[in-house]
Every structure is written in structure tokens, then in C-alpha cells.
Amino acid sequence: MIPVKEAKSIIHKHILLSGTETVLLKDAGNRILAQDIIATFPMPSFDNSAMDGFAVRAVDTKGTDQSLPVTLKMVGVSSAGSPGDITLGPGECAQCMTGAIIPNGADAIAMVEDTSGFSDTDSVQIFQEAKIGKHIRKKGEEIQDGDVLISKGTHITPNEIGTLATFGYGEISVAQKPRIAIFGTGDELVEPGIELKPGQIYNSNLYIFAELAEKSGAEVIMRDVIKDDRKPLRAFLSKALKTCDMVISSGGVSMGRFDYVRDVLMELGVQEHFWKVAQKPGKPFFFGTGESTLIFGLPGNPVSSYIGFMEWVWPVLDVMMGKPEQNFLTGILKVSFPREKVKCRFLFGKAWMEDGKLVCKPSSKMGSHMLSSSLEANCILGSETGESSLQPGEEIRINVLPWKNIK
């Protein structure tokens, strides 16, 4: 049994970075950016109007108000998308719509509400003095040419998609999705939807793995539930080792008589780096490597499998795709947390804000077979080893489940 820290550093030495590929912007959501995005033009890219109204020379509107409007001669219409070939002389104005180029010579926009309106096409009365620069969005006021907009390694969400579109990226370079094989083992496992016979249980873990893999940005290309039998196990694994960047299994790596996963992996030439880790749940945790495949053998108990994926596999997928290291939060325990003498302890938990502080509590269902402990959870709480339980008021590490919120 090796300590968690040591196991992490062993895994890190074997991570291979994903390649890159080009995708259309419409397909870029939830991918990881593989290039820095640099502004190739300023934003706004030209002076333009922030309001529907009239482009004027501020000096021509000086002293004007409701009782003493100034009348300006209209010399054109600048609409959004029009090329902006209008020039104003003294006493002249042009209709100018939101987003349209500011005509030459104009230095302010009088919004239409402060004028006699758009109906007369020869002249307009202005009812309010326009100050220089009023309602004009200046070229470059938001972004300068050459600014770094989005850094390589950023997870592409709606926040990034909009800016990529704004700067004209029709396609972008992203990390290739790690190709993953997931499998469960056990004669007792039955697919949801089918009636159970005595002694059988439903396969939950592969559904969890598939969902987690997709959320992490990876792609499941092989998936199967395999009986406790060496032959089908061997067939699945030998194909997975040839075609996948990562193999993740649940079950069949403990001390049971029918736990064949480790044996078969070794027979197929996988190099074992460790098998047992000082953690609870999930001590019988196997990590090995094939030629260019990482193999994570997680124990079958559903909580061990789920937490194992989030604590061990998810961070590795992040690194493979070039995401920056994850930052954990620290919260204050509202109830005690059962620390272990020689093992790190993980439990599903709930974190929330209370009087401006981040507080948390572990699920009261502590068994590694009790998957309903995840239902109320928005995080995984993790403690280092320790002689006694952590007490209410003490701090603990919070691994927020990325698709959950803290309220």
C-alpha cells in the first residue's frame, strides 16, 4: 500500500499529452483550447454609435435645449453595416444607427429621443446639447490589437464561445478528446431495465463513468460489462490497449477469488506501477501503463468507483488536455469528519455559504456501497491521515463537483 501523494506523483510521470485537432466553432463547446487566442484587430474595430440617433458636431449643438432647438441639415444615413462614406460640415448631421460608423467630422451622437425624429429626411431639430464623445463607442476601447484574449488550456464555455465568434474564429485548435475504454466486471451485474434474479444487482458504475468521462471532455469509445471470466476480459483489454489512451475499470481488482483484472492486464504486458493506495474508500486501486495507455483499475463499490474517478482520473484527463492544475477549496466542518490513521479519507459532502463563510459536512451514509450518499452532495471532502476525527470548526479540503453549485 503506498501513500496517496506517492501514487499521484507516479501517475503524473506517465501522463502523455493529447494531440490537437481543428474544430468548427459551433462544435467547440466543452473542448479545451490548444492555442492562445490573440486579438488580430481592436474592439470595437471602428468608432461607432451606441444609440439610434444623429451624428453631429458637438459644437453645432452648444446651448441648445427644449425651448431653443437647433436645426441641422441632414446629409445622409449611416446604418449598421454601411461603409461610412459620409462627411459632416458645419451645421450638418446624419442619421446614425446603433453600431453604424460615425461619419467623418462628427464627434457626438444625439439620441433620437432628444430630437424631432427620423421622419423628416432633410433636417432635424436637436433638443439637447450633445457633448463631445457622447454615445460614441471608440475604436479599441474594449480590446487592443494584440491583446491575449483567451489562454491555451481554457475550457471552452459560453463565455469563451462568444468572444471567439466576435473575433471571427470560424475554427479553432483544441485538444483531442482522450479515447477511453470503460468496463465493469462481475457475474452479478445486470443492466438497468432488466428484471433482477436473486443475488444480482444493477450495473451503476459504467453509467457513472460514461457520464463523468463525457463531462470531463473525454470520449468513451469502448464500453462493456464483462463476466468474471478471463477470456472475454482478455479480448476486451487487448483491443482497448491498442485503441485507447486510457482504460478505466470498476471491480475485479480486489482480493476476491474471481478478481481477474490485474492478472489479465499483466498477461497482456501491462506494467503495474501500484496496486493498493492508502485511501478509504478505494484501497485496491490499480495503476498501470501499456505502450501508450494509462490503466486505472478502480474498485467495484460504487462510491469507491465514483470518488476514484473524480480524485484520480479526472485530474489526469485535465492534464492530458492541457488544463491548468485544479485548485481545491477549503471549508469549515459543521460536523466531525472521520479521519483515518494511515489512509486519506474521502466522502461525498455538501458545501454551502453561511455567514459569508464556506462550510461543509460529509454525507451521513459512509459505506462505500452507499451510492445514494451522492444524491445530496455537491463535493467530495478529503482529509489527510490523522490520529483522530476532524472536529466541527476545523478545516477540510473540498473538491467541488464541477457541474454542481455552492449556494
CB atoms within 10 A of CB 109: 29
Amino acid occupying residue 320 = M
CB atoms within 10 A of CB 122: 8
251 interacts with Mg ion by CB under 5 A: yes
CA distances (Å), 374 to each of 331, 348, 379, in order? Answer: 18, 6, 9
CA distances (Å), 264 to each of 163, 170, 270, 295, in order? Answer: 49, 46, 9, 12
216 interacts with ligand AMP by CB under 6 A: no
The owner of cell 499529452 is: 17
182 interacts with ligand AMP by CB under 6 A: no
205 interacts with ligand AMP by CB under 6 A: yes
186 interacts with Mg ion by CB under 5 A: yes
Q: Please, which residues bridge with residue 396 across strands?
A: 331
Buried b (16+ CB within 10 A) or exposed e, 338-352: ebbeebbbbbbbbbb
Q: Residue ranges of the alpha helices (H) in 256-351?
A: 261-267, 302-308, 314-320
- From CA 228, how far away is CA 185, in angstroms rounded? 6
Compute the least distance from the CB of residue 283 to ligand AMP, in Å.
11
User: Which span sits near ligand AMP by CB under 6 A: 72-80, 86-94, 178-186, 381-389?
Assistant: 178-186
Q: If you compute the radius of gyration of the chain from its CA atoms, what whole number of angstroms results?
A: 31
Among 18, 20, 95, 250, interactor with ligand AMP by CB under 6 A: 250
297 interacts with Mg ion by CB under 5 A: no
The option from ligand AMP, Mg ion, none interacting with 130 (CB < 5 to 8 A, set by class) reads none
Binding mask 255-294 for ligand AMP (x = CB under 6 A): -x--------------------------------------
The option from ligand AMP, Mg ion, none interacting with 394 (CB < 5 to 8 A, set by class) reads none
302 interacts with ligand AMP by CB under 6 A: yes
189 interacts with ligand AMP by CB under 6 A: yes
Binding mask 338-367 for Mg ion (x = CB under 5 A): ------------------------------
Compute the least distance from the CB of residue 368 to ligand AMP, in Å.
8
C-alpha grid cell for residue 333?
A: 466542518
Sign for the pseudo-dihedral over CA of 397, 398, 402, 407: negative
299 interacts with Mg ion by CB under 5 A: no
CA distances (Å), 377 to each of 192, 292, 383, 396, 398, in order? Answer: 23, 35, 17, 15, 11
The dihedrals phi and psi of 37, each to the nearest 5 degrees, come to -105, 115
188 interacts with ligand AMP by CB under 6 A: yes
Amino acid occupying residue 158 = P
201 interacts with ligand AMP by CB under 6 A: yes
203 interacts with ligand AMP by CB under 6 A: yes
The option from Mg ion, ligand AMP, none interacting with 154 (CB < 5 to 8 A, set by class) reads none
The option from Mg ion, ligand AMP, none interacting with 315 (CB < 5 to 8 A, set by class) reads none
Residues that bind Mg ion (CB under 5 A): 186, 251-252
Residues that bind ligand AMP (CB under 6 A): 184-186, 188-189, 201, 203-206, 250-252, 254, 256, 299-302
